[in-house]
Chains A and B, each alone.
Chain A
Amino acid sequence: MAFYVVQFLTGLASAASLFLVASGLSIIFGVTRIVNFAHGAFYMIGAYVAFTLTERLSGAFGFWGAIVIAAFAVALIGVLVEMVLLRRIYHAPELFQLLATFGLTLMVEDLVVLIWGPDDLVGRRAPGFKGAIDFFGQNIPSYDLFLIVLGPVVLGILWLLFQRTRWGVLVRAATQDRDMVAALGVNQKWLFTSVFAVGVFLAALGGALQIPRDAVHHAMDLRIIVEVFVVVVIGGLGSIIGAFVAAVLVSELNAFGILIFPKISIILVFLVMAAVLIVRPWGLFGRPEAPARKTPGLTVNPWRPLTSNERLAALAALVIAATLPLFAGNYALTVGSEIAISVIFAVSLHFLMSVGGLASFGHAAYFGLGAYGVAFLAKMAGLPMIVCLLLGPLLGCMGAAVFGFFAVQLSGVYFAMLTLAFAQIVWSIAFQWVSVTGGDNGILGVWPSSWAASPSHFYWLSLGVAALVTIALRAMVFSPFGYALRATRDSLLRSEAVGINAKRIQWTAFVIAGTTAGIGGALFAYLKGSVFPDNLGISLSVDALVMVLLGGVETVSGAVIGAIVYKALNIWLVSQTDLSKLVLGGFIVLIVVVFPKGIVGMLEMLAHRRGKTSPPGSPLLAKPIESAE
């Protein structure tokens, strides 16, 4: 019995730091609607700064002072980030802020190594909390007890802050209805900045408090960020109590999960999140979101099919691309193939995200399933390449059909998180079910048949499939189905009122996008000759999001350009420098600030500006103001 009590208390201790970080993320999202991907980075910087300070400052006061100073210092960095970067892009399309914070995260991961060196750092133990306390023969670390007390104390302080101060009232009001706060004449700028600062403070404090328990290292951010998202979503976005309850739930699940299901504890959390979202789409303590007053896009230019001149130009570009093997070497051709596959992946997400308004955070799952489909068929059934290429994507299709059915019941961030959960479940299975998938070591030897083996042939194959897929999806955008899908994105209410079964339309789109991603994955397996769990990992899902956002989420052809630019740049940078994350992150941040509508969005805006000069004809000027309300 004592064992279970101690196990429970251990879970509570883990919950405390998780809660700190999660509550910060939740507050930031609640008020600013920013999905702050950099939250893990702030947590990590908090730990690094606290490490440096605790090594410098001596004694108990030094230690605790260092923790608090570190949190304040990082909050200050947060303020800087908010004022310099985020303020510029609050009015950019939804999720564009995610791109900015993702860029920041990349930069921070390299920066901490440059500043603090590559080694894992193990900091001091907390003065006064070094040992353990005996509980009926079981040892409880006294620092755990400290954390167990700290969690509710922070919760209490936050509660008081939100209930008893004017600032708190404003924050709560803004969480429920942003427009209302604007209407109250509150200086929204400073409200956002202060909220961001508080959120970052909590993240950094959570990181700093890890010093006595954990090693400080440059991958800390990724270890926590996903778990924190899970906590926030289970608890309900914007709910502090929810974050607390969910942090406890997740931590206890981990603590007891390892006793019952030692091998699948990592999946357990995502299963619970998926279950919660399916039963309670707004999390345990969340509130159904009021239907968005502005549609995601409010496109500058109405989408239209290509004119015949543009079609010719596209064809010409394709023909030129097809001549690459005449003058380029094998490496360039293989890179060309990889870029073409990225285009397939990006346009498949674009179809779901831009056309359907459903931003998936787990799109790599279907890409990877396509790749694994090919690998299973080729290695286990020994089928020829052409059959594998045709049938492999069906695994992506089936995955999309099953997961999509549940995912489309939700929308917005909750949809994103459910897709993330599904992707993580698939990834965990691939990673841990070694006997079937080969686990981390993957499935090797999936090489193309001789007809496609040469780099030029494979390049033509990839280019051809990419062109077909792009044309097909583009045609679908302008098909009756595409109109119906856009209709569900723009107004669920209206589409239901004209007889459209929105969920079924969205589900169909999800399956189409998943299958298409699977086609990309199938080609990718043959390009690389192997399949690894990486092919369904979070970082690949994020890559896809970045490609779409970079090109311009409100445009039809943005994904194509975004994929080419991002992938080419990525490959080039990785080849040229060990600091590729720093440079790439910097580039993304720059793009976000300079081209808030993405590359193609920016080009369209310029073309539009040149075409029309009279004010009434330039809604692109009017829109940002309107959506800025």
Chain B
Amino acid sequence: MRAKNYFVGAAFALLASGMAHSALAQDIKIGEINSYSLLPAFTEPYRKGWQLAVEEINAAGGINGKKLIVVSKDDGGKPADAQTAANELVSSEGVAMLTGTFLSNIGLAVSDFANQKKVFFLAAEPLTDAVTWSKGNKYTFRLRPSNYMQAAMLVEAASKLPAKRWATIAPNYEYGQSAVAVFKKLMSEKRPDIQWVDEQWPPQGKIDAGPVVQAVAAANPEAILNVTFGADLVKLVREGNTRGLFKGREVVSFLTGEPEYLDPLKEETPEGWIVTGYPWYSIKTPEHDAFLKAYQAKYNDYPRLGSIVGYQTIKSAAAILAKANSTDPEKLIAAAEGLSMPSPFGEITFRKIDHQSTLGAYVGKTALKDGKGVMVDSVYKKGADYLPSDAEVEKLRPKD
């Protein structure tokens, strides 16, 4: 078995590649992981966002005078590969903290890794409530509004609708199942009079849209909750439009107002859906204007929600590092808990109780303008207003 020699060879190669990256001592390194190859549509704007943030931070003198370096790795959409990357970043690159991740399962995998290896982790995009609650841990913080928060924002609008007969369409995996569960729970609390007349659980990424639309139509609901996204959403919308599913029915939909999901729909965009999203074209605040200008100047492109998340992730990381003035994880945690900072959406705070940021989202209605989908009547919902009481949160989160 000459085979074993390869072990050694491979090990040497890995060592060598590790050394090549060693940085100057006065730099601060952040490790960043995301599904660049699997989900380029979401991670490209995200990358542009954080690159802009790095540029701005270093132009302003870095973190307490030290240059910020972000070492970025692809996870290929696999939790196991994300952990390998996390390990490389921590062990070989010596990063001060981990950030990033898009998919919930990868967020959880890295969060669990962070907890085990005692590394600070700022989760950027994963939505599952588990990251901060049922599987929350001391080392993990999250930027983006969670599943629960987005559901609560939507329920606020949905509960005002007259509709009593509701149907749900959600991808059949943890995200879809928990989104529906939270929405139903919150909705039933506010509106005990409503009925759930049908639920459709197409497999994630493999929706057979025609039959699903038919089946929902057959149940004749007055309103529909949609949790599908991406290519599934496109198929659902096209079939729904053709078959008139959405005619005369209210639709409440997770995430659909985000440019990542809304823009591909073009002239097929359904009108009047109540959605969470990011209407970058209609936000008129000084913070957002500044971000938008800088982003468009650098990339000659408009931002997606991912751009905001990427930008704010690194901005938040920098703020935490600056306040802690150390790379010691315990000090980073102490610095991050309760830390407030500006963001393009206004001031946000990383809550001490569950490490969730209070970054909010925009809720509005979809509309068609010049053959493109847009969000209208958008209102920013502060994250802090859509979280359960502290007493409830404490019950949800394991004791450290």
By a beta-carbon cutoff of 8 Å, the part of chain A in contact with chain B is: 3, 6-7, 10-11, 13-14, 110, 113, 118-122, 130-132, 138-141, 143-144, 212-215, 217-220, 223, 227, 251, 254-256, 258-259, 262-263, 265-266, 306, 310, 313-314, 317-318, 320-321, 324, 327-332, 334-336, 338-340, 343, 428, 431-432, 434, 438-442, 444-445, 447, 455, 463, 470, 524, 528-530, 532, 534-535, 539, 557, 560-561, 564-565, 568, 571-572, 574-581
Contacts and interface: CB of A to CB of B under 8 A. Distances in A.
A307 to B, nearest CB: 12
A12 B344 CA distance: 49
B87 A254 contact: no
A575 B177 contact: no
B74 A441 contact: no
B211 A565 contact: no
A522 to B, nearest CB: 14
Given A139-B243, A317-B7, A574-B74, 14 more contacts: A113-B40, A144-B210, A256-B211, A317-B3, A317-B4, A434-B173, A441-B105, A444-B112, A530-B79, A530-B109, A534-B80, A561-B3, A571-B81, A581-B37
B83 A529 contact: yes
B11 A324 contact: yes
Contacts of B2: 313-314, 317, 561
A444 B244 CA distance: 43
Contacts of A445: 112, 115-116
A371 to B, nearest CB: 10
Contacts of A444: 108-109, 111-112, 135
Nearest to A266: B203
Taking chain A's interface residues, is the majority helix, strand, or loop, or is none over half, making it mixed? helix
Interface in B168-213: 172-175, 177-178, 199-203, 205-206, 208-212
B88 interface: yes
A423 B80 CA distance: 19
Interface in B48-93: 73-76, 78-81, 83-85, 87-88, 90-92
5 contacts: A10-B210, A118-B44, A258-B201, A539-B78, A578-B74
A132 B200 contact: no
Contact of A324 (B7, B108, B214, B239): B7
Given A332-B18, A441-B108, A578-B74, A255 B243 contact: no
B230 interface: yes
Contacts of B210: 10-11, 13-14, 141, 144, 255
B29 interface: no
A119 B218 contact: no
B105 A440 contact: yes
B293 interface: no
Contacts of A438: 174
Interface stretch (B264-272, B322-330, B362-370, B379-387): B264-272
Contacts of A432: 172-173
B32 to A, nearest CB: 12
B205 A572 contact: no
B339 interface: no
A329 B235 contact: no
A561 B4 CA distance: 8
Interface in B235-283: 235, 238-239, 242-244, 263-266, 268
Contacts of B84: 334-335, 338, 571, 574-575
Given A313-B1, A579-B37, A580-B74, A119 B264 contact: yes
B13 interface: yes
Determine which residue in B15, B203, B209, B211 has the highest number of CB atoms from chain A within 10 A of its CB, and name it. Answer: B211
A341 B360 CA distance: 43
Contacts of B200: 258, 262
B299 to A, nearest CB: 14
Nearest to A435: B177
Given A434-B174, A580-B76, A321 B109 contact: no
Given A11-B211, A580-B76, A332 B11 contact: yes
A431 B177 CA distance: 11
B372 to A, nearest CB: 12
Given A132-B242, A535-B80, A442 B108 contact: yes
A113 B112 CA distance: 32
Nearest to B230: A120
A14 B385 CA distance: 45
Contacts of B36: 578
A528 B231 contact: no
Contacts of B5: 317, 320
A528 B109 contact: yes
B48 to A, nearest CB: 12
Interface in B6-23: 6-8, 10-11, 13-15, 17-18
Contact of B201 (A131, A263, A535, A560): A263
A232 B124 CA distance: 42
B281 to A, nearest CB: 18
A331 B3 contact: no
Contacts of B244: 132, 139
A313 B211 CA distance: 62
A255 B15 contact: no
Contact of A258 (B18, B105, B211): B211
B227 to A, nearest CB: 14
B211 A447 contact: no
B52 to A, nearest CB: 18
Given A214-B235, A218-B40, A441-B108, A534 B214 contact: no
Contacts of B175: 440
B41 interface: yes
Contacts of B113: 529
B93 to A, nearest CB: 9
A224 B262 CA distance: 24
A170 B342 CA distance: 72
B37 A122 contact: no
Contact of A266 (B4, B14, B88, B206): B206
Contact of B14 (A120, A254, A331): A331
Contacts of A339: 7, 10
B18 A331 contact: yes
Contacts of B238: 122, 212-214
A576 B16 CA distance: 13
A121 B243 contact: no
B211 A572 contact: no
A529 to B, nearest CB: 6
Contact of A564 (B7, B85, B201, B263): B7
Given A7-B215, A534-B79, A580-B76, A439 B4 contact: no
Given A120-B264, A141-B242, A440 B174 contact: yes
Given A118-B40, A122-B234, A578-B36, A219 B14 contact: no
Interface string B334-375: 000000000000000000000000000000000000000000
Contacts of A578: 36-37, 74
B313 interface: no
Contacts of B211: 7, 10-11, 14, 254-256, 258-259
B139 to A, nearest CB: 13
A148 B135 CA distance: 48
A306 B173 contact: no
A172 to B, nearest CB: 33
B128 to A, nearest CB: 6
Residue from A122, A470, A571 with most neighbouring chain B CB atoms (10 Å): A122
Contacts of B235: 213-215
Nearest to A11: B211
B378 interface: no
A329 B91 contact: yes
B201 A262 contact: yes
Nearest to A532: B79
A575 B21 CA distance: 12
B243 A214 contact: no
B45 to A, nearest CB: 9
A315 B84 CA distance: 28
A113 B41 CA distance: 9
A6 B218 CA distance: 11
